[in-house]
Structure 1
């Protein structure tokens, strides 16, 4: 009977720690999503300033590639990996021109001498992408913690029954 009591105490203690971890992960995810929102709105503001500086016809959908354009690769790719425990994690990898000849710098779609605001917008959008990947990783980690909590609750209910 004493051993069952010790097991129950360990399970309760672990549940308490996992619940705190879950709360911290929820807070971290909220912070990351707020950072993404702020970076996106800042990038959009810099894009609007660029349109004002060089004209709305010079920064528009007309400069973007269409389906008839030559094939190209992205500058940054999101890569996923799976750990031994089945946990997915994602990272960003920058593609160099030497690795893939079809890589194009998106700023060059708008000319060679672009305003500084367009560079700022690109940096803010890249930062938003990094925070988005971190938010996905945090969300995956939170799901694993919640799964562990539900499993331990099941074990606890079996012990108390």
Structure 2
């Protein structure tokens, strides 16, 4: 009985360390997401300053009647959940999807390209964050179950 209790305690220790590591990774991803969003917004502001406030505004967006297609979509991969890959990004539409930067003209400033890259990176951080969050939740469930089992062994 004590041998089984030792195994449970070792597993609890390992899972606790895993949970702390996942929490640290989640914090780093959220900080990276925040930095990417701030950089993207800053680049948009610089572009608006360079081109003028009316050149980068809602007026350049397609009308409500226009057909819009996403470049990427986030897909839940439940069958891969055991591989710890819960969510992933898939490309949509192939080469047919127009580049949204062309809404603002042919020669757009580099800042607008940088903003697009930063917002694309932000999507990747969000997906990674969701995956880490799911791993963390799974680890917490395992911890709770093992703690209950340990109580049964002791009680």
TM over 0.5: yes
Task: Find the counterpart in structure 2 of residue 11 from structure 1.
Answer: 8
Counterpart CA distance in 1 for 2:67 and 2:31 is 34
Kindly indicate whether the alpha-carbon contact (under 8 Å) linking 1:15 and 1:152 is maintained by their aligned counterparts in 2: yes
CA offset at residue 83 of structure 1? 3.0
Equivalent residue pairs, number: 154
Task: Find the counterpart in structure 2 of residue 113 from structure 1.
Answer: 107
Counterpart CA distance in 1 for 2:90 and 2:7 is 42
Counterpart CA distance in 1 for 2:101 and 2:154 is 63
Kindly indicate whether the alpha-carbon contact (under 8 Å) linking 1:32 and 1:134 is maintained by their aligned counterparts in 2: yes
CA offset at residue 110 of structure 1? 0.9
Of 27, 40, 44, the match for 1:43: 40
Normalized per residue, which structure has more helix?
2
Kindly indicate whether the alpha-carbon contact (under 8 Å) linking 2:87 and 2:127 is maintained by their aligned counterparts in 1: yes
Matched residue SS, 1:83 = helix
Asked if residue 140 in structure 1 is aligned to residue 134 in structure 2, the reply is yes
CA offset at residue 84 of structure 1? 6.3
- TM-score normalized by the length of structure 1: 0.89
CA offset at residue 96 of structure 1? 4.8
Of 76, 82, 103, the match for 2:78: 82
- TM-score normalized by the length of structure 2: 0.93
Could you report, residue by residue, the CA deviation over 1:61-117 in whole angstroms, capped at 9, with x for unpaired residues?
11123423x21211111122013666661111223544xx4x221111111211110
CA offset at residue 16 of structure 1? 0.2
Unaligned runs of 5+ in 1: none
Of 63, 78, 91, the match for 2:60: 63
